[in-house]
Chain A
Amino acid sequence: MKRPDPRVFQIVSLGSLLVYGMAIRGFEVTPARALLLLATALATQWACARAAGVGFEAKSALISGLSLCLLLRTNSAALAALTAVVTIASKFVFRFRGKHVFNPTNVGIVLMMLATGQVWVSPGQWGNVALLAFLIVCLGSLVVNRAARGDVTVAFLGFWSMTLVARALRLGDPLTIPLHQLQSGALLLFAFFMISDPKTTPDSRAGRILFAALVAWGAWYVQFKLFRPNGLLWSLAAVSLLVPLIDRLLPGSRYDWRAPRPTQRRHDAPPRSVPDLMPASAGVA
C-alpha cells in the first residue's frame, strides 16, 4: 500500500498549530499576514521552479509558509513578503550536491534578522502550557515518524535536556529551572518540525546524531555564553553548513519524500521523477 506523503501530515499539523496560536494564544499574526506569507511562498516556489525548469511543488512551499506564520514577526508587510521570498529561494540557491544546505524557514528568518534587524522571533509566545506541549509532541511525532527522522528529534531533545540539566547541576539550581526551559513550546516546535527536516539533515543515522549534538552545543553557546535569544535558530543555521562534511564522513542514503525510509526501500518503489533536482524540502517551523 502506498504510504501517504509525510508532508500532508506536516501541513495539517502546522495549520492546526497556527489556528490554535492565532485563536487561543493571541499570536501576533493577523489572517491577512498569514495569507500574504502563504501566497508569497507559493508564488516564489512557482517562479523558482519555472526558472529551474522543474515541476511546481506546492506542499513544501506551504510548509515553509506556515512555518513563517508561526515564527516570523515584523511590523512590515513588505519585509514579511521578502522573508517568504528569501526562504523559498534559499532552496534553489543554497544547494550542495543536489541537497539543500539549510532548512528554508530557518535560513530565511536568520538572514532577514541579520540583514534588516526589523524582523524577530518571539520564543516566549508559546508559553509553556502542558496541553500545547502535548499537542506539538503528538502532531510532531506523527510527522517525524512518517518522515523517518524521529532519530534526530530524539537525539536533539536528549542532548539539549542533558545540557540544561548539567548546567543546573553545575550552578546548584533547582531542577525546576531546566524543567521550565524544556517545557517551551518553541523548543518542541523546533525539535519536531524544524531540525527534523529530512532534506537538510545528514543522510546517515550516525551523522544525524552527531548533527543533533552539534546543534544542541551551538544553542547552548548562543544562549548561555553569548546571552543572545533564539540560540536554536542560529545554531541550526550554522551547523547546517557542516552537513556536507558530516555526510562525507558518515555517508548514508539520500532522503526522498516519495519513498520514505530509504534504507528499507522496496524494489517496486516508484522511481524518483526528477531526482536530486526537485526542491521538495519541507521548510519547517
Chain B
Amino acid sequence: MRRLAPFLISCLLLLGWPSAAHAFCGFYVGKADTKLFNKASQVVLVRDGDKTALTMANDFRGEMKEFALVVPVPTVLKREQIEISDKAVIDHLDAYSAPRLVEYFDGDPCMRTDYDRMMTLGGAPRPQAMAAPAGARAKALGVTIEAQYTVGEYDILILSALESSGLETWLRENGYKMPQGASAVLGSYIKQNLKFFVARVNLKEQAKSGFTFLRPLRVSYESPKFMLPIRLGTVNADGPQDLVILALSRKGRIETTNYMTVKLPTGQEIPTYVKGEFGPFYKAMFAEQVRKENMRAVFVEYGWDMGWCDPCAADPLSSDELKKLGVSWLDGEAAVNPQARRPQFMPGGGGTNAYVTRLHVRYDAAHFPEDLVFQETANRENFQGRYVLRHPWKGDSKCEAVDAYRRSLSERQEREAQTLAWLTGWNIDEIRKKAGATAQKIGDLGGRSLWAWLFLD
C-alpha cells in the first residue's frame, strides 16, 4: 500500500553543500554535512501579482511505488501548468539563502588587519510521499477526476470532490493511506472550493527517465489565494515539523499575515569553537528561538535582492535558473540591475530583479491551526542569518597595544559565551569550558590568554 505523505509532511532537511564560497574577501572553510532538521520539507514559492508557482522539492528515498502526494490547489490545473523542475536549482537557491557562519581573524594589534572567511548552512530539501489514481467508482463517491496527466515520472490527477468522506474513501480505495482525522481537513478544503493535486510515480516513465531520484514538481496557477496548506500535514503528525519556504517575488519581502513573522537573531559574535559545531549550533538556536516565541512565529532566515549578496553563501541565481523556478517577470527586464550589483560579490551570470525571502517555520496543529496565509510587501530591506566567529590574534609581536588587546579579548570571549548561551539555551558553564579549551589551544601559539587563565584549571 502506498504511504501518503500529505503535503509538507516528514522529510529530512540535510545540511547541504554550499557551492564554492567566492566573494567575500576570504576563503571557504568547510561544509556542514550532518543531518540537521528532522521532518522538514522545502518549497519554492514564486509570487507575482496573483500568479503563483509552487515547487515541491522532493528527496524521497523509499520505494518509488510508495510515493504519494496530495496537495490542495485553488484551480483545476492544465497540463502546461505542471512541470518537472530542476533539483539542482532548488539546491542552489537553498545554498544561496542559507544561514551562514562567518569567520574573522584578529590582526596583529600592532598592525591591524583582519581576515575573514565564511561557511554556510545549506539545506537540501527532502522528499515527500505520494499516491495513486483510479477510475469509474470516483463518480459514485462524488469525486470528479478533472484531469489526468503523466508529467515526467509522475502520474497526476486533479480531483474535485463533493464531500470529504467520498474523497477519503476514493483515496483509500486507490491505495492512499490517509491519516486518521484527515477527513475533516479535506472537508474544509472542499468547501473552500479547493481542488486536489494528486501525484504518484509512474514506474515505467521513471525507469525511462534514467534519474535515480524523484525530480521536483512545479505547479503554477493564477489565484488571489496566497497560502500554503499545512493542515493535512499536521493531522496525526508525530510531533512538530519544519518547513522552509524559499519565496521569490518581484516587489519585496513575503510575510505571513495570520502568524507573526520575525527575524532570527543575527550578526551575533559567538565562541570560535562553534566552527566545528555549526549544525548543532544552528539547530539549537532555532529551537531556542521557537521556544521563546511560544512556537507561534514564522522566522525569516534570509531576505535579499537576488541581484547580489554580501557575503555570498553561493552565487545569486541566474535568470535561467529563476525561470526554471517559475519566475516569469524577467523577460524584457535587464537581467541584472546594475545599481544593485556590488562588483566584488557579483559572480558571472549574475542575479536578477527578484527578491528572495527564506522563511522557516516549526509547526504543529496546536500552535498553527490555520494554513499559512501570506502577503507580499514592498520591503526590500536586506536581512541574513549570519553568525560571527572572531579568531584571536596568535602572533608574538610586542607593543603596548598587545596588552590592551589581551585584556579586551577575555572580555570579548566572555561576552561571546553569554551570547551563545542566550541564543541556544546551552549551559553557560559548558560553553565556557569548551571555549576555554579553544582558548588554551590558541594560548599555545600566542601565550596563555587571560581567558584560559580564568576558566581552565
Contact = CB atoms under 8 A, between A and B. Distances in A.
Interface stretch (A45-53, A120-128, A154-162): A120-128
Nearest to B294: A129
Interface in B242-279: 251-252, 255-263
A171 B187 contact: yes
Interface stretch (B99-107, B167-175, B371-379, B432-440): B371-379
Interface stretch (A134-142, A199-207, A224-232, A247-255): A224-232
Interface in B375-399: 375, 377-381
A120 B370 contact: no
B192 interface: yes
A124 B256 contact: yes
Interface size classification for chain A: 20 to 34
Interface in B101-115: none
Contact of A171 (B188, B223, B297): B188
A110 to B, nearest CB: 15
Interface string A222-243: 0000111110000000000000
Contact of B381 (A75, A125, A172, A181): A75
B378 A75 contact: yes
A171 B260 contact: no
Interface string A98-131: 0000000000000000000111101111111100
A170 interface: yes
B369 A73 contact: no
Nearest to B252: A75
Nearest to B225: A227
Nearest to B365: A176
Contacts of B164: 172
B191 A171 contact: yes
B258 A119 contact: no
B375 A120 contact: yes
Contacts of A179: 369
A174 interface: yes
B369 A124 contact: no
Given A127-B296, A127-B297, A171 B192 contact: yes
B7 interface: no
Given A123-B257, A124-B256, A176 B369 contact: yes
A84 B340 CA distance: 30
Contacts of A228: 224
B184 A172 contact: yes
A3 interface: no
Given A75-B381, A119-B378, A176-B369, A125 B188 contact: no
Contact of B370 (A28, A125, A172, A177): A177
A265 interface: no
A172 B191 CA distance: 9
B379 A174 contact: no
Interface in A137-185: 170-174, 176-177, 179-181, 184
B197 interface: no
Contact of B375 (A118, A126, A229): A229
A202 B457 CA distance: 76
Contacts of B378: 74-75, 117-120
B299 to A, nearest CB: 12
Which 7 A-B residue pairings sit nearest by Cβ, starting from the closest?
A127-B260, A227-B224, A176-B369, A171-B188, A120-B377, A229-B375, A118-B378
Interface of A: 26, 28, 73-75, 117-120, 122-129, 170-174, 176-177, 179-181, 184, 226-230
Interface of B: 164, 184, 187-188, 191-192, 223-226, 251-252, 255-263, 293-294, 296-297, 366, 369-370, 373, 375, 377-381
23 contacts: A26-B262, A28-B379, A73-B379, A75-B378, A75-B379, A117-B378, A120-B375, A120-B378, A120-B379, A122-B255, A122-B261, A123-B258, A124-B255, A125-B260, A127-B259, A172-B191, A173-B184, A173-B188, A176-B369, A177-B370, A227-B224, A227-B225, A230-B257
Given A181-B370, A228-B224, 4 more contacts: A26-B262, A122-B255, A124-B258, A126-B260
